Amino acid sequence: MWETAAAQAIGNLETPAVQAGDGIIGCLRRKYGYVRNLNDNIAMLEREERYLLSKEEDVITMLDRKDQIMERTRECNTWLDEVRVMKGKLQELRNRYQNTSRRFCGLCPFPSLLKLGKTIVIKIEEVIVLKSRIDQITIMHQRAPMPSVPVIKKHPEKIDNVPSLNEHVEALLRLLKEDNLKRIGIWVLPGVGKTMVMENLNNKIRETQLYDNVFWVTLSKGGSVRKIQLIILEQLKLEVKEIHDTDQIADMISEVLVNKRYLLLLDEVFSEINLKEVGIHDDHEHGAVIFAYRDRDFCRFMDDHIKIERLSNDDAKNLLRKIVGGIIDRPSYKKIADRLLKECGGMPQVIKLIADSLRNEDDPAVWRHLLSDMQSPGTEPVQEIQEVYKAFKLVYDKLHVDKKPCLLYWAIFPPDYEVYQEREANEVAHALAKYTPSPLVSLFCCNYASFPRTVWEAWSVDQLAGV
């Protein structure tokens, strides 16, 4: 009995001692492992660091790609900050390892190796945790939209009292309300009031709120995909920063517009446009595009189209009466006015030019002389715009010889070119100085600013270029 009790007592005393011994041995074994596996652990740390850096690059790429429509979360910013701090610590640790490696062969104290090895193992765990944390947080959320410009109001001449033009606006509105029509064409001859129709359509849409955004782009022969993109970006208040690739910009535009109700108005279309390169796609259920062109061949690319006809006789007479007054109803002027309107061919811009020439003119002889000029055989090369040509020539012929070069100079500008009068005068004067006698330069500079106001108002640069 006594022996049994003694053995149990000795056993109870031995167990804590054995456990303590095992713990000490395990601790020593672990510490020895820090030193023995130092090279393997540093290799593992570098591998996990590469994975971490790859994650960081992926996140930054995503942030850059979607930065215009989304913004990074505070969690994401915190994670990126922690990655930057971690990269600094890992570089310090790498430097310590390299310095220690040079002092091997028994010359490096064991405590220093032990401390370095333990730190490496701890950093491996921290890098793994940091790398996995990005998968558990929200990287980006929808950016609060900046107030875009929905529909820029135009200030065209009102056409409510011009049925032959207003009916085109109403026809376009009806077409836009049909869900299956995405591409609508406006086929038009120069000078019949196409821009007037489109500007009034723009304002009608603004009043009815048929679309969230309306983008107006005048292309001309120098038009491009890039120009359309820039106007859309500007109106949507999107910044592209350093992005110059049109495909990336197209993706950005498409992503913003895909669920919007939008209308793209393309004026002065001279060549086929690949809307996909702009960012306009057929799967944009609520978007539509209107093309205005002079070449009827474009009709085959459209879902539907309309042709803007010339003014009716009544509308043409009303327009002339609005400018010159009731003089056209007097017996001595009535027949002349009717014949002049016939020569104008129902083209609003031509009627305006003729009317401006006759404004405040109460001499029937002047009216008859103008009619004679309009009826005289012309040398115009294009039959479709003979009225435009004759009207323009009348204005040109009335100018003093010194001022004619000024008007011709305007015709070289593209239709949508923004002309700054003083700057352009200086530039052309410098150009003339190289190739022309000095008297002509002086004449140009003197007459440019005083060019007849009626010409600037009645004849826009795009019509001059078209002629």
pLDDT at 323 over 50: yes
Q: Answer yes or no: do 357 and 220 share one domain.
A: no
Q: Contact 319/162 with Cβ under 8 angstroms?
A: yes
Which residues lie across from 304 on neighbouring strands?
Answer: 184
Domain-located, residue 152: no
Contacts of 312 (CB under 8 A, 6+ apart): 163, 164, 346
Q: Per-residue pLDDT tens for 395-408? A: 677 777 777 777 67
pLDDT at 450 over 70: no
Count of other CB atoms within 10 angstroms of residue 367: 24
Helix (H) or strand (E) holding 463: helix 461-466
> Which pLDDT score is estimated for 359?
87
Q: Which two tokens stand for residue 62?
A: 């995503």
Residues making up the chain, counted from first to last: 467
Rg from Cα positions in the chain: 40
Quote the pTM value.
0.56
pLDDT at 460 over 70: no
Q: Answer yes or no: do 297 and 342 share one domain.
A: no
End of a domain among 274, 307, 340?
307
pLDDT band at residue 45 using 50, 70 and 90 as cut-offs? confident
Domain residue limits at 462: 313-466
Q: Answer yes or no: do 403 and 437 share one domain.
A: yes
Q: Answer yes or no: do 299 and 371 share one domain.
A: no
Q: Answer yes or no: do 226 and 167 share one domain.
A: yes
Residue 338's SS3 state is helix
Q: Answer yes or no: do 387 and 349 share one domain.
A: yes
What is the Cα–Cα distance from 249 to 230, expressed in whole angstroms?
9
Residue 387's SS3 state is helix
pLDDT band at residue 267 using 50, 70 and 90 as cut-offs? confident
End-to-end CA distance of the chain: 129
Question: DSSP code of 419?
Answer: -
Residue type, 43: A
What is the Cα–Cα distance from 3 to 449, expressed in whole angstroms?
129
Q: Answer yes or no: do 302 and 335 share one domain.
A: no
Quote the distance between the C-alpha of residue 353 and its chain's center: 36
Q: Which of 30-34, 38-42, 285-289 has the highest mean pLDDT?
A: 285-289
Q: Per-residue pLDDT tens for 199-235? A: 888 888 888 888 888 998 888 765 678 889 988 988 8
Mean pLDDT of the chain: 75
Q: Contact 291/183 with Cβ under 8 angstroms?
A: yes
CA-CA-CA-CA torsion sign (62, 63, 67, 69)? positive
Tally of domains in the chain: 3
